[in-house]
Structure 1
């Protein structure tokens, strides 16, 4: 959920594509289990962006699954979160990259639980798209400090998303 200036939490946007996306994720065999290749992709994203955190996220009907995490979770830590946590569900619904240099500058996002509970201050994410243009999930990098991502950051995250999308779809075809 986001936060508006009147102090109300804003709901995660409606996601009419959620059932079709969940079915497509099942067909592709992704989004339900951790995968070392996705953890490696998250690590590479964090290194490329110079951030302490990165995710490869698949968004289901009721929750999001972090198939790739950097740093990797500790033993027993969950790789799932409700759809109202974080920013990836917005990227998936919009099917567009999201650049938040300082999330506290955006009332819709400033009250998100990851801001208050985990100290996230900046976010840069892009959708993982299938051949039909359906967003399956996201790749993103996060920081606990505000960051001016700029056009180079935006272009880098979009390129990383396109590359990983191609790898996911090639794996399903192979």
Structure 2
């Protein structure tokens, strides 16, 4: 197991594709919330929350340095990262950003396949993640957004503050939603094709 200089286990997987992903996200204009076209990602996150009956859902793009919630559904429906609690980036400008070592989406990217955690506390590797104490996350359901070039751009995920029995239906649902969103991203890049 890879370890920090302090000897603690490295809980976030190494990301050899970070720079390629970051460049692709910049080409697609998906690294920052720039205009009203991002409202479709918020609407998609709302839909994910509705379909999965969860308080939080995200469309998350991950570059070399951080995670960016292009789509965000929160319990208060404020779309504010402040609803994500202490684990969210602190400034008012960065409320839709999260450090790369927080959460489970970086694991989905490294695996390049969906991740289902019915109770994160059942897994020592995941129970120690800062989002457990900082936000109160107890269950996670996420799938990668692998675009037409084969690059995993980010994830679509649903999270809850209580353990959830996602089952096969949850896994199938999040994979289906991820495929649908990848189609939207492809159309965004080639609107007339």
TM-score, normalization by structure 2:
0.83
Distance 2:112 2:28 in 1: 19
Evaluate the alpha carbon distance shift between residue 105 and residue 79 of structure 1 in structure 2; reply closer, same or farther with a 3 A threshold: same
Compare 23-32 and 163-172 and name the one that shifted more: 23-32
**Partner of residue 73 from structure 1, selected from 77, 80, 100:** 80
The structure showing larger relative contact order (alpha-carbon pairs under 8 Å, at least 6 residues apart) is: 1
Q: Tell me how far 1:70 sits from its aligned partner.
A: 0.3
Q: 1:129 aligns to what?
A: 146
Task: Kindly state the Cα deviation for residue 133 of structure 1 after the two structures are TM-superposed.
Answer: 2.2
Q: What is aligned with 2:4?
A: none
Structure 1: segments with no counterpart, 5+ residues:
1-6
Who is 1:172 aligned against?
Answer: 189
Alignment partner, residue 38 of structure 1: 41
Flag as ranges the 4+ runs of structure 1 deviating above 4 A. none
**Superposed CA offset, 1:64-112 (max 9, x none):** 0010110211683610011000000110111110000000001110010
1:48 aligns with 2:47: no
Against the structure 1 CA distance between its residues 40 and 109, is the aligned structure 2 distance closer, same or farther, given a 3 Å change threshold? same
Q: Quick one: which of 134, 159, 170 aligns to 2:176?
A: 159
Whose strand proportion is higher, 1 or 2? 1
Q: 1:38-87 CA distances to partner (integer Å, 9 max, x unpaired)?
A: 11100100000000110000001010001011021168361001100000
